[in-house]
Structure formats: structure tokens, C-alpha cells
Chains A and B, each alone.
Chain A
């Protein structure tokens, strides 16, 4: 794929200049919040922070963290820093637990957001004229509209199919000659599986898909390879990252080298902290990502705790960008499950399974409490009929999966083989964990 850069000035800036720009923007953000945000003004005053106190980037540590609870507590518009007439768009999270988190954008915020998305879309292979199908659900979720406007900004041909209706999605792909797809990794995989199941009628070479701009849920390099192999014909996918609290998708994205996600550092100042203590960790350490959105004004976000676990590499990339790169999300600090005292992320289980052709890429982790101890079961779908002849081969497969997972997690688990398509498929974020430890027997 061709190596294109949307905004060379910002994406290839020297580290010194970038830090100077970030410091200047941070000071002005703090000053803005003191003057315009009732919420932040109180919080900053209590912590004794003023814009003058910020002399270097590490002085950001004086500023208290912002969390999702802050957004919930101030639902719906308590954190707005502009009068409502300056707001031109509102989005919200699903709010499955408690109040939804509402975010709001000024016109300038939307322009910045589109710029951020445009950069990662170009890094992921899109360009003017690329026909892109957006298979994220539209609506209150930021994913679809975020990518939508960013892709329009670069002159791509946007096809807003939204999520679901798989047969129609595939029909448009074939008939329109769609070149790129925006989707969650699991939905992209699901579409590929569906396309393959209709191969007799519609051969795979009827699809012109070249790029997958995937996001909204984590994926491992193994899963990426699996998706690419499923589509075939040189399909290439990149991962991108963002969240509604920080505009939406657009904070970072992979380039053709896929060695970390390039952060739009002129807009986002990132730190990595220890989740438990809240202490900032040294550069390069793995921990919870904390992000300050330097340019957002409708609903500013100071030191937002993302709960995503990653680390950041500040070395320039082979692609020519000098922007820092964050590692693919390793897990969620709150998806992290503790099993017999060991930290487990579902993505680790995924990496142990992917590449195995005997099973489908879907899996479910089931946790139970048995005899006062945790037990972990991983359910996988057997798809290879060739193993049925000898019972021993099924047992050997179970054992192999058990060993792979034990090598990664260091704990013994149970593997259960289940029938194909018996694990629920999700068009949005996949639910991989069923925790029955607190259920009455």
C-alpha cells in the first residue's frame, strides 16, 4: 500500500516542536477551563492549579483526573463550557449501566475531529475517490459519524450502510465496487465469513475490498491476519482508536507498517499511569492511558482516564511520521478479570486461539466459583469435521488450546468444544466474558 501522510506539518513535527506546541495548548486549555467551565474551574481551584503554574508538560500532574463518573454525575450538560447555542452536535454512549455519557461539540470541535479522522483514514489506505462503506451503527454512537466526516474531508466516497443487514452490505460491496470498509474487527470478520458462505453464488473475486479501517473494539495481530485471510485478495486492515469522551475515533491509528497507532499529538496529550495508585509511570511503561484533549472546547477533557491498557513509543516510525505511537490496546482496566489472583484480559485468550483452523475465531470465557476457587472455561466452536474420526484428536485439540492459554496466562483452564455458530455473534462490541462467580447456585 502507498504511504501517504495527510498533514505532514503536524504528523512529522520534531519532538521538541511538538512538545512546545503541546505545552502552549495545555496552558491555553487550562486558562480556558478556568474561565469557561464551572465544573473544571471548581476542580482546578481546589487543586490549586492555574495556567501560570504549568511551566512544563509534566506539570500536568497537578491537574486532577477526569473520569466517566464525572460525565455521568453531570448528565446531561453539566460539563459544557460554552452556551448551548455554540453546540452543533451531541453524541452519547449507550449507558448500559447508569446514565449515558453525553458529549457535545462546537463547530470548531467537529472540524478538529474530522481532521484527526482524516489523518488516520489516509494512514490506513483511504484517499480521494476510495469507496468506503461505513458499517458502524449510526445514531448516538460517535464511530459512524466520526469516520463519515473524516472520510468526506479527504474526498472519499462515503457509503453509510450502518451496521447489520449483512446480505445487503455484501450486495453493495459487490455492486458498488467498495474499496474500503469501516467496521469493528468482529463485524468485518463476520462479513467475510458470510461472503465465504455465499461463494458458490458470489465468488470472492467479486469483492474489490482493499482496506479495512477497523476500530471501536480491540483486536490482536492474529485476529487481523485471520480477517485478512478470510477476505483474501490482498485485503489489508488497520486499527484505530478513540472514544466519545475524546471526540470519538480519531485519537490514533495505524499506518501501513502497523507498528503501533500514531497519536494525533497536536490534539491529544497522553500519559500512562498505574491504574491502582494513579501514579504517572515512566515513558514506555505499560499502564492505563490518560488523555488530555488539547483542542476540544465544547466539553473539554482534562486528563481523562480511558481505562485502556497500553504503552507509548516515542521513536519516529518508518513511515516518516514522528508522532508517538501507542501499542494496540492490551486490555481494559475494568475488562481485566482476576482469576485466582491472576490478571486476565480476554484479548490474551484471543491471541492463544487465533490461527487455529480447527476452531472458529469466536470464543466465550465463562467464570465460575467452585469449591471457593475460581474456575475459567473457554468455549470454542469446533469447525473441522476431520477431527471427528478419532476421539483422541478432539482431546488433543482441547489439550493444545489449554496449553496455549496456560503459556500466556500462567493458569490452568478448561476448554470446551461447542457446535459451530452456538456462540452469539455481535455486530457491535463482542461480549467475551460470562462471569457466573457471583450467581447463586
Chain B
């Protein structure tokens, strides 16, 4: 039902993002989806990867501040309005979205959303009744 997402604290310094992603690259980890939110001083790098626990360990061993959280991955139709309709179904149930990011799939008519919401259960039931496809961990990690 949920997938594991890594959040990594990153200082805004030249080359830091390259250093951090090199750590997971060296651990043989493949990135599925990525997003970074930044302020003037720091950013939070969010990653969905094929081996989340191994990635967490590699980053922690390198001394970074990391957390692993449950987020929702949703498959939506890749067409105009596909996103707007999906997010409306969540908004209609008064579920706030903390953050989200999207990526398209190798299938030409499908896209994916990674969502962190205030109330997971409520969001999932809204998405399901809208007819969305909720992905489990394995299917995302193996994308």
C-alpha cells in the first residue's frame, strides 16, 4: 500500500548533491524518482530507490541525516487533466498534501505520483474510489 521514500538533509553547497548521490551510486542503488525542496541554506532530497533500506544504511554510514518514510505512489492516466482530476479527488475529502512529485512511466499512457499527505488512509480511499491505481513497494522499486 505504501512505498518507502528516503529524505536526506543536504546543505546548499556546491557539489554536495553530487557527493550524496555518488554515495548511493557506489552502493549499487538505482534511483526511481527524485525531488529536492530547497531554501537558501539547505535542501531536503527525497528519493525513491530500488533498495531503500540499503540506501538508508549507505547514507547513514556516510554520516548524513536521513529518514525513511511511508508515502503513497499512485498510477494515473497520462493525458490532459489526469493530474488535476486525481488531486481534486483528494482535495474533495479535505486531505492536505505535504509535498508531492510526479514522473511519467515507460508506458506512454501512464504517469506516477509520489504523495505525502496528512492522512494516508483517507487519501487512499479517495484515490481508490476515483479509480486510481495504488502501487505497492515492489512494483515501484522494480519499475
Binding site for B on A (CB under 8 A): 382-391, 394, 416-422
Contact = CB atoms under 8 A, between A and B. Distances in A.
B37 interface: yes
Contacts of A416: 41-42
Interface centre among A382, A385, A416 (most CB of B within 10 A): A385
A391 B41 contact: no
Contacts of B44: 388, 391, 394
24 contacts: A382-B9, A382-B65, A385-B9, A385-B66, A387-B67, A388-B7, A388-B9, A388-B44, A389-B7, A389-B67, A389-B69, A389-B116, A390-B98, A391-B98, A391-B99, A394-B42, A394-B44, A416-B42, A418-B11, A419-B10, A419-B11, A419-B64, A419-B65, A422-B11
A387 B69 CA distance: 11
A439 B17 CA distance: 29
Given A388-B8, A391-B44, 16 more contacts: A382-B65, A383-B65, A385-B7, A385-B9, A385-B65, A388-B9, A388-B44, A389-B69, A390-B98, A391-B37, A391-B99, A417-B41, A418-B11, A419-B10, A420-B65, A421-B63
Closest CB pairs A-B (n = 10): A385-B67, A388-B7, A388-B67, A421-B63, A389-B69, A385-B66, A416-B41, A385-B65, A382-B65, A419-B11
A389 B69 CA distance: 7
B63 A420 contact: yes
Contacts of B98: 389-391
A199 to B, nearest CB: 14
Nearest to B42: A417
A390 B11 CA distance: 17
Interface string B81-101: 000000000000000001100
A391 B69 CA distance: 14
A417 B40 CA distance: 11
B7 A419 contact: no
Interface of B: 7-11, 37, 41-42, 44, 63-67, 69, 98-99, 116
Nearest to A388: B7
Contacts of A390: 98
Contacts of A418: 11, 42
Contacts of B7: 385, 388-389
A411 to B, nearest CB: 20
Contacts of A387: 67
Given A417-B9, A422-B11, A384 B65 contact: yes
Say whether chain B's binding surface is mostly helix, strand, loop, or mixed: strand
Nearest to B56: A385
Interface centre among B7, B42, B65 (most CB of A within 10 A): B65
A422 B99 CA distance: 28
A390 B116 CA distance: 9
Nearest to B98: A390
Nearest to A392: B98
Contacts of A391: 37, 44, 98-99
A321 B120 CA distance: 63
B16 to A, nearest CB: 8
Nearest to B9: A382
Nearest to A414: B41
A382 B69 CA distance: 18
Contacts of B67: 385-389
A141 B69 CA distance: 50
A419 B9 contact: yes
A424 B64 CA distance: 15
A383 B65 CA distance: 5
Nearest to A377: B41
A98 to B, nearest CB: 35
B98 to A, nearest CB: 6
Contacts of A420: 63-65
A194 B124 CA distance: 44
A356 to B, nearest CB: 14
A233 to B, nearest CB: 25
Nearest to A360: B65
A259 B132 CA distance: 66
A390 B44 CA distance: 10
A384 B67 CA distance: 8
Nearest to B59: A385
Contacts of B66: 385, 388
Contacts of B63: 419-421
B116 to A, nearest CB: 7
A434 B37 CA distance: 29
A131 B124 CA distance: 61
Contacts of A388: 7-9, 44, 65-67
Contacts of A417: 9, 41-42
A194 to B, nearest CB: 13
Contacts of B116: 389
A375 B69 CA distance: 37
A420 to B, nearest CB: 5
A425 to B, nearest CB: 12
A394 B8 CA distance: 13
A383 B10 CA distance: 12
Interface centre among B7, B8, B10, B99 (most CB of A within 10 A): B7
Nearest to A395: B39
A419 B65 CA distance: 7
